[in-house]
Amino acid sequence: MNVLVINCGSSSLKFQLIDSESENVLAKGLCERIGIDGSLTYQPAGGEKVKSEKAMPTHTEAIQFVIDALTDSETGVVKSLSEIGAVGHRVVHGGEKFASSVVINDEVLAGIEACSDLAPLHNPANLIGIRACQKLMPGTPMVAVFDTAFHQTMPEKAYLYGLPYEYYEKYAVRRYGFHGTSHSFVSKHAADFLGLDLNNSKIIVAHLGNGASISAVLNGKCVDTSMGLTPLEGLVMGTRSGDMDPAIMEYIAKKEDLDIAGVMNVLNKKSGVYGLSKNLSSDFRDLEEAMENGNKYAAAALEVFCYRVAKYIGSYVAAMNGVDAIAFTAGIGENAGIVREKVLAYLGYLGITLDAEANKKRGEDFVISTADSKVKVAVIPTNEELAIARETVALV
Ligand code: AMP
């Protein structure tokens, strides 16, 4: 079956058409600047990537252009819409309502809407994408795959904040976690690749991208993760602060004469390695280069990032009373050997030893610990689109 995977933002929409039997990507692309002017980037497998300007007043036009491109007589990859068996939608927040992927119906749409309070930037955009697809592809089954679902197995002690309990009851204030599709995919794949029995394993997944999070996966189930009510908690990220003393908010608000929105903007967009490097960059390629050229702020930013990752790994070893394997994934986890090296250097007490040669590799699954390392460490490229396609097929 061919599955169209959609990841819809407020002004952009990423898509992939995946053949679920071969798991090959037939075509992929991106609509940008929806509601502003609009452009479509489209690339069929083995073909050229082509970008064209197209008027996209709403997501409905954007999805119509995607369908037109996929069914185009020259560069298309299917003859007609009937060759698309299902659509899998990435949905950011499923709250406590959705602990797994679901086939979309009116009740599910209402459920996603009810979680919009918790993800006001993302869920409404996800809903717009789903509704536009329903309009243009009536009769095609659609599945919602939630970023939060994998983390719903966290125990109460991991998801409750030390706040008045009624905030949890009245406002659903608790830790949810994000990147769940990636943590689920990578933990399963790591067990497979490393020859571990997933149902009898302790795996820590470090999803280190521009947004970054870590999870503790015990016997295939998430027992803790670093992001919280929102994706701001946890690791130091590209531009997000991660964990900090909450009292800093009031202190900075007074010093800089900012309101709550102003402080939140700083914590989300001007902090992390970007802020630490004095606005040099949020991209680890730039930071590495700057560090090599003697930039002390870039060096400090990298060190703060790696130290935080190492501390989280240590705390998850405690949470699971041990660890069998650590998997690095996402843009930084997959590509930045220096980050993996620095993080693992803090974890020698676990009996981890790095294979420095293997750590230079890129672009595939590979082990970076030595044969005698007490904990296996691997790089496992994530593939959220494939994970969404798999979930979609399983449900339809
Ligand atoms: P993601 O959010 O998973 O797409 O990750 C994007 C981030 O990965 C970028 O902002 C970079 O910091 C990092 N990244 C991507 N490629 C490389 C690379 N070759 N070396 C170091 N970092 C990289």
Question: Strand, coil or helix: what is 217?
Answer: strand
Which two structure tokens, joined as six digits, stand for 25? Answer: 């990507």
pLDDT digits (tens, 9 = 90+) for 90-116: 999 999 999 999 999 999 999 999 999
Calculate the CA dihedral of residues 230, 206, 332, 312 and round it to 10 degrees: 70
Ligand 1 in contact with 275 (CB < 6 A)? no
Ligand 1 in contact with 178 (CB < 6 A)? no
Residue to mutate (ligand 1; options 210, 213, 240; most atoms within 8 A of CB): 210
- State how far Cα 391 lies from the chain centre: 16
Ligand 1 in contact with 209 (CB < 6 A)? yes
User: What pLDDT is attached to residue 305?
Assistant: 98
**What amino acid is encoded at 211 in this protein?**
G
Which atom in ligand 1 lies closest to the alpha carbon of residue 210?
A: 2
Q: Is residue 393 part of a domain?
A: no
Does 85 score more than 90 pLDDT? yes
| Alpha carbons 175 and 37: distance in angstroms, whole number | 37
User: What pLDDT is attached to residue 308?
Assistant: 98
Are residues 132 and 22 both part of a single domain? yes
| Alpha carbons 396 and 381: distance in angstroms, whole number | 26
Instruction: Give the model's confidence band at 128: pLDDT under 50 very low, under 70 low, under 90 confident, else very high.
Output: very high
pLDDT over 90, % of the chain: 97
Q: Is 7 annotated as a binding residue?
A: yes
pTM for this prediction = 0.96
Does 236 score more than 90 pLDDT? yes
Q: Is residue 344 part of a domain?
A: yes
Going by alpha carbons, the residue nearest to atom 19 of ligand 1 is 335
| Alpha carbons 325 and 202: distance in angstroms, whole number | 7
Ligand 1 in contact with 283 (CB < 6 A)? yes
Domain's final residue, options 108, 123, 146: 146
- Cα of 209 vs centre of ligand 1, distance in Å, is 6
Q: Is residue 386 part of a domain?
A: no
Q: Is residue 142 part of a domain?
A: yes
Which atom in ligand 1 lies closest to the alpha carbon of residue 285?
A: 21
| Alpha carbons 388 and 86: distance in angstroms, whole number | 11
Q: What angle do CA 198, 203, 208 make, to 5 degrees?
A: 130
Are residues 240 and 352 both part of a single domain? yes
User: What pLDDT is attached to residue 224?
Assistant: 98
Are residues 142 and 216 both part of a single domain? no
Ligand 1 in contact with 301 (CB < 6 A)? no
Name the strand (E) or helix (H) holding 102: strand 102-103
Ligand 1 in contact with 305 (CB < 6 A)? no
Domain's final residue, options 146, 163, 182: 146
- Cα of 285 vs centre of ligand 1, distance in Å, is 7
Q: List beta partners, residue 283.
A: none
pLDDT digits (tens, 9 = 90+) for 12-65: 999 999 999 999 999 999 999 999 999 999 999 999 999 999 999 999 999 999
Residue to mutate (ligand 1; options 207, 239, 283; most atoms within 8 A of CB): 283
3-state helix, strand, coil in the chain (%, to 5): 40, 20, 40
What is the phi/psi pair of residue 266, to 5°?
A: -65, -45
Q: Is 366 annotated as a binding residue?
A: no
Q: Is residue 56 part of a domain?
A: yes
Going by alpha carbons, the residue nearest to atom 17 of ligand 1 is 335
Q: Is 210 annotated as a binding residue?
A: yes
User: What pLDDT is attached to residue 28?
Assistant: 98
Does 395 score more than 90 pLDDT? yes
CATH of the domain at 7: 3.30.420.40
User: What pLDDT is attached to residue 121?
Assistant: 85
Strand order across the beta sheet in which 202-208 lies: 221-225, 212-218, 202-208, 325-329, 376-379, 366-367
Q: Is residue 309 part of a domain?
A: yes
Q: What counts of helices (H) and strands (E) characterise the chain? A: 14, 14
Q: What is the DSSP letter of 292?
A: H
Domain's final residue, options 87, 116, 146: 146
Ligand 1 in contact with 331 (CB < 6 A)? yes
Can you give the residue range of the structural domain that contains 118?
2-146
Mean pLDDT, the chain, rounded, equals: 97
Are residues 208 and 118 both part of a single domain? no
pLDDT digits (tens, 9 = 90+) for 330-361: 999 999 999 999 999 999 999 999 999 999 99
Which atom in ligand 1 lies closest to the alpha carbon of residue 283?
A: 12
Ligand 1 in contact with 285 (CB < 6 A)? yes
Going by alpha carbons, the residue nearest to atom 8 of ligand 1 is 331
List the end-to-end C-alpha distance of the chain, in Å, as a whole number: 10
- Is 302 in contact with 273 (CB distance < 8 Å)? yes
What is the phi/psi pair of residue 103, to 5°?
A: -70, 135
- Is 320 in contact with 218 (CB distance < 8 Å)? yes
- State how far Cα 373 lies from the chain centre: 29
Region label for 46, one of left (φ > 0), alpha (ψ between -120 and 50) or beta (otherwise): left
Are residues 121 and 247 both part of a single domain? no
Are residues 126 and 50 both part of a single domain? yes
Q: Is 296 annotated as a binding residue?
A: no
What is the arithmetic mean of pLDDT over 258-263?
97
Are residues 210 and 358 both part of a single domain? yes
Q: How many domains, the chain?
A: 2
Does 363 score more than 90 pLDDT? no
Q: List beta partners, residue 171.
A: none
pLDDT digits (tens, 9 = 90+) for 57-71: 999 999 999 999 999
- Is 198 in contact with 187 (CB distance < 8 Å)? yes
What is the arithmetic mean of pLDDT over 113-142?
94
Which atom in ligand 1 lies closest to the alpha carbon of residue 207?
A: 3
Q: Is 252 annotated as a binding residue?
A: no
Region label for 222, one of left (φ > 0), alpha (ψ between -120 and 50) or beta (otherwise): beta
Q: Is 321 annotated as a binding residue?
A: no
Residues near 18 by Cβ (< 8 Å), separated by ≥ 6? 2, 3, 5, 24, 25, 26, 385, 386, 389
Whether 147 sits among the annotated catalytic residues: the reply is: yes
Are residues 98 and 34 both part of a single domain? yes
pLDDT digits (tens, 9 = 90+) for 177-231: 999 999 999 999 999 999 999 999 999 999 999 999 999 999 999 999 999 999 9
Q: Is residue 389 part of a domain?
A: no
Question: Out of 37, 72, 106, 147, which one is annotated catalytic?
Answer: 147
Does 173 score more than 90 pLDDT? yes
Residues near 314 by Cβ (< 8 Å), separated by ≥ 6? 346, 347
Are residues 210 and 135 both part of a single domain? no
**Which of 112-121, 181-190, 283-292 is predicted with the least confidence, judged by mean pLDDT?**
112-121
| Alpha carbons 246 and 382: distance in angstroms, whole number | 32
Ligand 1 in contact with 291 (CB < 6 A)? no
Are residues 234 and 326 both part of a single domain? yes
Q: Is residue 54 part of a domain?
A: yes
**What amino acid is encoded at 229 in this protein?**
L
Q: Is 207 annotated as a binding residue?
A: yes
Which two structure tokens, joined as six digits, stand for 306? Answer: 């790696």
Ligand 1 in contact with 330 (CB < 6 A)? yes
| Alpha carbons 40 and 87: distance in angstroms, whole number | 19
User: What pLDDT is attached to residue 10?
Assistant: 86
Q: Which residue has the tokens 């930013």?
A: 301
